[in-house]
Amino acid sequence: MNLKKILLKNSFIYFFYKKLKIIKNSKKNQHLGEFGEDIFIRRFFKKSNEGFYVDVGCYHPIKGSLTYYLFQSGWKGLNIDLSKVSVDLFKVARPNDHNINAAVSNFDGETFYYENGEINQQNSLIGKDEKKKKIKINSYKLETILNDLSIQNIDYLNIDAEGNDYKVLSSLNFSRHRPKLISIELNVYNTEAVIKDETHRLLSNENYFLASKIGVTSIYIDKKYESSINNIMSV
């Protein structure tokens, strides 16, 4: 019998043990993602005190951010958004990151985006709503940006491109840049619809597996981690 079992036979010690267990497990899990996606991401990278993230459609450095806790842990990264205001916030909050105001698609050149607001998660390259302001912006392939900045290793890639996600991913050279984990806001709740999506097919062909679906976000992990995922995600 180990020491813990011996001590718990003492009614006085056992009483405080139960109290401690209740208090310890009553703490709330803090999260910033709309559906708590960042809890999954933090757990996957819990042993990584440094790394590199790429956040396409970064929106805000704290509110709704899936990279904020990684940043707090010592990570650095690349943050890209259609909104100049969003990028300016990142320049203040994360001055050592690469913060770029641009569109990310499957071509390099000029394009337009439709603005819902100066800082808004629904700003998009897709749609021709006359009520929305149409704004000219430079567009780049993700691979172009990574190469221009001499970025080699990506640990985590987050994409929230409001329906333009496939074009973002298709511009990435997976043989050169291979994130361990990729999260994509596909804006569908039906898992069957996700599996039929061209984005899922692309990632499956690149040897990623759908590890989780949290709300409207799908999380893919490099298949080389599939055999050790239970150990990686253990609390």
**pLDDT, position 114:** 78
In a domain, 185, yes or no: yes
- For the chain, the domain total comes to 2
Same domain (yes/no): 1, 61? no
What would the mean pLDDT of 86-108 be, rounded to a whole number?
Answer: 95
The boundaries of the domain holding residue 61 are 31-104+140-233
Whether 84 and 146 map to the same domain: the answer is: yes
In a domain, 20, yes or no: yes
Shared domain for 213 and 188, answered yes or no, is yes
pLDDT reading at 205 higher than 90: yes
Compute the Cα dihedral for 142, 144, 150, 152 and give only its sign.
positive
Q: Are 2 and 80 found together in one domain?
A: no
**pLDDT digit string (tens) for 148-180?**
999 999 999 999 987 789 999 999 999 999 999
What is the average per-residue pLDDT within 218-230? 95
User: Do 48 and 83 reside in the same domain of the chain?
Assistant: yes
pLDDT at 220 (0 to 100)? 98
The yes-or-no verdict on residue 18 having pLDDT over 90 is: no
| Sole residue written with tokens 């599939």 | 226
Give the pLDDT of residue 181.
98
113 domain residue, yes or no: no
d(CA 36, CA 152): 29
In this structure, is residue 118 part of a structural domain?
Answer: no
Q: What is the CATH classification number for the domain harbouring 146?
A: 3.40.50.150
Query: pTM for the full model?
Result: 0.85
150 lies in a domain?
Answer: yes
For residue 9, is pLDDT > 80? Answer: no
Label residue 188 exposed, middle or buried (CB < 10 Å: 0-12, 13-18, 19+).
middle
Q: Residue 166: its pLDDT value, please?
A: 93
- 124 compared with 84, residue with greater pLDDT: 84
Asked if pLDDT for residue 26 goes beyond 70, the answer is no
